Amino acid sequence: MSLCDDARSAAREILSHDEVTVISHIDADGIAGEAILAEALSRAGIIHRSVFVRQLEPMTMRQVPEDSTFKLFCDLGAGQQNLLEERGLRDDEVLIVDHHVSQPAGRAYQQVNCLDHGFSKMSAAGVAFIIAMEMDPGNVDLSRLAVVGNVGDMMAREDCGLVGPARDIALQGASAGCIEVVSRDLNCYGTSTRPLHVCLAYNDDPFIPGITNNVNGALRFLQRLGIELQTPEKRWRVWEELSPQDKRLVTSSLVQQIISCGERADRLFSESYLFPDEAARTPLRNAQEFATLLNACGRWTRAFVGSSICRGDRGGAYREAEHMLNNHRAVIRELLEYILTTGVRELSHIQWIHVGNRYPDTIVGIGAGMALSRLNMEKPILVMVEQPEDPGLTKVSMRTTERAIGRGIDLQLALTTASAEVGGAGGGHRIAAGAFVPKESEEHFVDRVNQLIAGQLCTEGQGNR
């Protein structure tokens, strides 16, 4: 059975029900996946409602209604099939749409999981889209949301673009005219909304000496090239607005700058995914910024606002999301300042800080990533934060760089191993991972992670990249 076969039988199953509950995750991928399924269900005339959870655990299982509706789990469920079983859910009333590692339980729940077919660079929204297309090929416009989910889950990061079936979805959207796939675009966040010099200065992958973390340096660099940085109305221009010649001039000069510092310039370019139907200079214009908007909604527990935007609301929901995005950024800036002024503690192979209960646990990962580029980038950063609902539990977020991954570092492996040893749980990706650990084991845990990272660097060269 191929992924398509699985999706086809899942579509048939879904279409056979009159009432469906979608249970999804509150991040960009979960919200985009939910919106794809909800929209496909609406179009098929099936009654449905949705529930968003931060993660699937015994507490949040209570939000899953005890009724006769068919339960569609999205971006979660594969690893928590024991919970579904404990709840007494029958195998004929559940379908799991996921891309996380499966933990089978006694009952064989029906599942569409790209991981089962060897596709690790695909998100739940991507899987949801393939199912939606099997429900009705007219759902091709939902490819935009699938791309947002994939990019939001960092599926395009390592290879500077989507690959495999996730990329096929982007190309399907391009043929249908709703996505513009730009090859060798500038690999930079904020190309639709940020003034170009700010956009360049905030980018740290690749790290460009004199430009990264240096807004004035970036501004002088662009002025030297003679690029028209403002419109006649004195508004700063964004990358998207530059002429093709100016874009080429900027990228070729950046390449020179990087090479003259002895660095590799290949990560300066990436494939990007634009949505030409959206208003200019809004975060809805490209997949990366759209994903941030959804993450902001989820992190401020307003996943439904994000879902409404995915399904076309450009009025009230969009204004509310813009507000959350500003708030989101302000709190992240505060966290960044806090980390930099308080300072991290350095161990031999990692650097870490505990921010107590000052910041919501949902943003510490992002703050950690931003802080890392201002600190020693050779050492992965680990940030701990108190769990608001459970002070006995500490949330851990770790971030590192592509370069460190190339040297053998795998944060997901380190955190999963170390947290399991203290009775916690972890997960994520090589470059960004998280865990929950009991508060009393914090110190031991940090030392253990340090040890594991040291071990990973030793085994470098075994070709596990």
Q: Could you tell me the smallest distance in angstroms from the CB atom of residue 29 to Mn ion?
A: 3
Q: Could you tell me the smallest distance in angstroms from the CB atom of residue 124 to Mn ion?
A: 5
Assess 123 for contact with Mn ion (CB under 5 A): yes
What DSSP line would sit under 253-301, residue for residue?
HHHHHHHHTT---GGGEEEEEE-TTSPTTSTTSBHHHHHHHHHHHHHTT
What does the alpha-carbon distance between residue 354 and residue 338 come to, in Å, rounded to a whole number? 11
Q: Based on CB atoms, which residue is closest to Mn ion, 24 or 203?
A: 24
Q: Based on CB atoms, which residue is closest to Mn ion, 290 or 445?
A: 290
Q: Based on CB atoms, which residue is closest to Mn ion, 29 or 134?
A: 29
Assess 98 for contact with Mn ion (CB under 5 A): no
Contact status, residue 88 vs residue 108, Cβ threshold 8 Å: no
The piece of 23-31, 251-259, 313-321, 344-352 that touches Mn ion (CB under 5 A) is 23-31
What does the alpha-carbon distance between residue 358 and residue 379 come to, in Å, rounded to a whole number? 24
Q: Could you tell me the smallest distance in angstroms from the CB atom of residue 84 to Mn ion?
A: 18
The piece of 111-119, 151-159, 351-359, 392-400 that touches Mn ion (CB under 5 A) is 151-159
Q: Based on CB atoms, which residue is closest to Mn ion, 139 or 150?
A: 150
Return the residues of window 288-317 that contact Mn ion according to CB under 5 A. none
The piece of 118-126, 186-194, 205-213, 324-332 that touches Mn ion (CB under 5 A) is 118-126
Assess 29 for contact with Mn ion (CB under 5 A): yes
Site string for Mn ion, 333-372 (x = CB under 5 A): ----------------------------------------
Q: Based on CB atoms, which residue is closest to Mn ion, 74 or 160?
A: 74
Q: What are residue 143's phi and psi, to 5 degrees?
A: -60, -30
**CB-count burial class (<10 Å; 0-12, 13-18, 19+) for 141:** middle
Q: Is the peptide bond before 206 cis (omega within 30 degrees of 0)?
A: yes
Give me the helices (H) in 343-393, please.
364-372
Return the residues of window 428-447 that contact Mn ion according to CB under 5 A. none
Give me the helices (H) in 111-195, please.
124-135, 143-152, 164-175
Q: Is 134 helix (H, G, I), strand (E, B) or coil?
A: helix
Assess 113 for contact with Mn ion (CB under 5 A): no
Assess 75 for contact with Mn ion (CB under 5 A): yes
Contact status, residue 64 vs residue 82, Cβ threshold 8 Å: no
Residue whose beta carbon is closest to Mn ion: 29
Q: How many residues bind Mn ion (CB under 5 A)?
A: 5
Q: Could you tell me the smallest distance in angstroms from the CB atom of residue 18 to Mn ion?
A: 28
Beta bridge partners of 230: 236
Q: Could you tell me the smallest distance in angstroms from the CB atom of residue 31 to Mn ion?
A: 10
Q: Based on CB atoms, which residue is closest to Mn ion, 46 or 145?
A: 145
Q: Based on CB atoms, which residue is closest to Mn ion, 64 or 128?
A: 128
Q: Based on CB atoms, which residue is closest to Mn ion, 155 or 335?
A: 155
The piece of 24-32, 88-96, 220-228, 358-366 that touches Mn ion (CB under 5 A) is 24-32
Calculate helix-pair angle for 143-152, 164-175, nearest 10 degrees.
Answer: 140
Assess 153 for contact with Mn ion (CB under 5 A): yes
Q: Could you tell me the smallest distance in angstroms from the CB atom of residue 301 to Mn ion?
A: 18
Phi-psi region of 145 (alpha: psi -120 to 50; beta: other; left: phi over 0): alpha
Q: Could you tell me the smallest distance in angstroms from the CB atom of residue 122 to Mn ion?
A: 9
What does the alpha-carbon distance between residue 288 and residue 334 come to, in Å, rounded to a whole number? 22
If one counts every other C-beta atom within 10 angstroms of the C-beta of residue 244, the result is: 7
Q: Based on CB atoms, which residue is closest to Mn ion, 8 or 100?
A: 100
Ordered strands of the 393-399 beta sheet: 345-346, 351-354, 381-386, 393-399, 432-438, 425-428
**Sites of contact with Mn ion (CB under 5 A):** 29, 75, 123-124, 153
